[in-house]
Structure 1
Amino acid sequence: MNDVTLRLKGLTKTYLQGTPGEVRVLRGADLELRAGEAVALVAPSGAGKSTLLHIAGLLDTPDGGSVQIAGQDMTGKSDRARTAVRRQDVGFVYQFHHLLPEFSALENVTLPQLANGVAEREAEARAMELLERVGVAARAAHRPAELSGGEQQRVAFCRALANRPSVLLADEPTGNLDPGTADQVFDALMDLVSSSGLSALIATHNLDLAARMDRVVRLEGGVLRPAA
């Protein structure tokens, strides 16, 4: 049985901008993620981590190469098809939580499920289950402004996993938190990943956190290599 949830093959991406003109961010990046695997993505600033994550998550398209998610080759797919796969099979977490400020924690985790056709009662039950798993169920009725930074990010993790994606992509998910809170929030994220059986690609500058994942890859010179 093929348990590869994300396959990036030969990705290239070039941007045109002022001087010096062409900036080649990706030069043939390859990566495979398997179910249940958490992989750290490290790179120097400006090396293209966010570009790689956006392409992997179907928010951007490469100039060359292919992206496969849950066995589906997304090369040449329509925007509608890409949106459907992104909604169902990909979860995103960013450095800032981006929760909807007018909705409670419970509602923020419920809404993506409703948009995906899940019945309200089932969506709320799933949302509460996730909030309980990361230790913020008691704050379910609170809006984001009433939550601490660590609580906000835990809710954001739950929202990303609400629709049971195959792949979680995270861009510096603890980068906006103090070290102690970052460590606690990272533990909550790893618990969600391991209990859900999905694969995770997590960009981080924190090498201590990176070392706690299953493996580390480094983006440098536009290609991905195992970290030394």
Structure 2
Amino acid sequence: MSDPILTLRDLRKGYNHGKPNEVRVLNGVDLTVQPGEVVALVAPSGAGKSTLLHIAGLLDTPDTGTVAIRGEDMTDLGDRRRTAIRRNDVGFIYQFHHLLPEFSALENITLPQMANGVADADAKARAMQLLDTVGVAHRASHRPAELSGGEQQRVAFCRALANDPVLLLADEPTGNLDPATSDRVFDALMGLVRSTGLAAVIATHNLDLAARMDRAVRLVDGRLVAGAA
């Protein structure tokens, strides 16, 4: 078996630490995700799934416990190194697309690459390849306001994968879409994930979508348990 892309060990996180109103969100989370594996993270709103994803993606830090990406312990890294890993190795997708409104679909995908030192022509070629994979290459010159909700989210998927990450973290990526559009957009996301072989953790309320991933885990009382229900 390959070495895991993501390893979480005994993650614990609370807010208002040490105060009478302290809220414990994570109480010893353990998770390992292999290359090419898609894991569904199922939890109700407020259970801590966004906190877990933010810690896994180095946007937040746990009170205790460790996060390792490709075997490298992230615990004591400085801000510059953590930022570089987020930019190069981790892709994020949220429920709302957060595309830059003044730029076209193509530009929204080329900009992260150019910020990472990729030449303009190469960045555009990569962006068009990704847009074609999710079926919206014909909308490359359109700004977000000119795209449907499903098209916007597919562009957001492409942006998340623009720098060829090894880990994808998605927080309710189809939660803002109607059921039919959600299904089509999820298929596009899974196509991208399968074609790249990256590891993915996808938070969702939708048990039907969770069942289409490789396995599911539930966040219950701050710990992960196997199964979607």
**Range of TM-score over shorter length:** over 0.9
Q: Secondary structure at the match of 2:153?
A: helix
Correspondence for 1:38: 38
The CA deviation at 1:20 is 5.5
Q: Secondary structure at the match of 1:4?
A: coil
In 2, Cα distance between equivalents of 1:71 and 1:88? 15
Correspondence for 2:158: 158
Show CA shifts across 1:104-133 (max 9, x none): 000000000001111111111000000000
Map 1:18-57 → 2, pairs under 5 A: 21-57=21-57
State the one-letter code of the partner of 1:189: L
State the one-letter code of the partner of 2:3: D
Show CA shifts across 1:121-167 (max 9, x none): 11110000000000000000000000000000000000000001000
Correspondence for 2:71: 71
State the one-letter code of the partner of 2:54: H
The CA deviation at 1:2 is 3.5
| CA-atom RMSD in angstroms | 1.4
State the one-letter code of the partner of 2:182: A
Q: Secondary structure at the match of 2:7?
A: strand
Show CA shifts across 1:182-206 (max 9, x none): 0000000000000000011000000
Q: Between Structure 1 and Structure 2, how many residues are aligned?
A: 228
The CA deviation at 1:43 is 1.0
In 1, Cα distance between equivalents of 2:34 and 2:57? 16
In 2, Cα distance between equivalents of 1:37 and 1:20? 40
- Return 5+ residue gaps in structure 1 as ranges: none
State the one-letter code of the partner of 1:190: M
Map 1:138-153 → 2, pairs under 5 A: 138-153=138-153
Percent identity for Structure 1 against Structure 2? 74
Q: Secondary structure at the match of 1:100?
A: coil
Correspondence for 1:189: 189
In 1, Cα distance between equivalents of 2:117 and 2:7? 27
In 1, Cα distance between equivalents of 2:4 and 2:117? 26
The CA deviation at 1:44 is 2.2
- Return 5+ residue gaps in structure 2 as ranges: none
State the one-letter code of the partner of 2:187: D
Q: Does 1:15 align with 2:5?
A: no
State the one-letter code of the partner of 2:95: Q
In 2, Cα distance between equivalents of 1:130 and 1:21? 46
Which one is further off, 168-177 or 70-79?
Answer: 70-79
Correspondence for 1:210: 210
Contact 2:2/2:35, CA 8 A, preserved across alignment:
no
Contact 1:48/1:222, CA 8 A, preserved across alignment:
yes
TM-score with structure 2 length normalisation?
A: 0.97
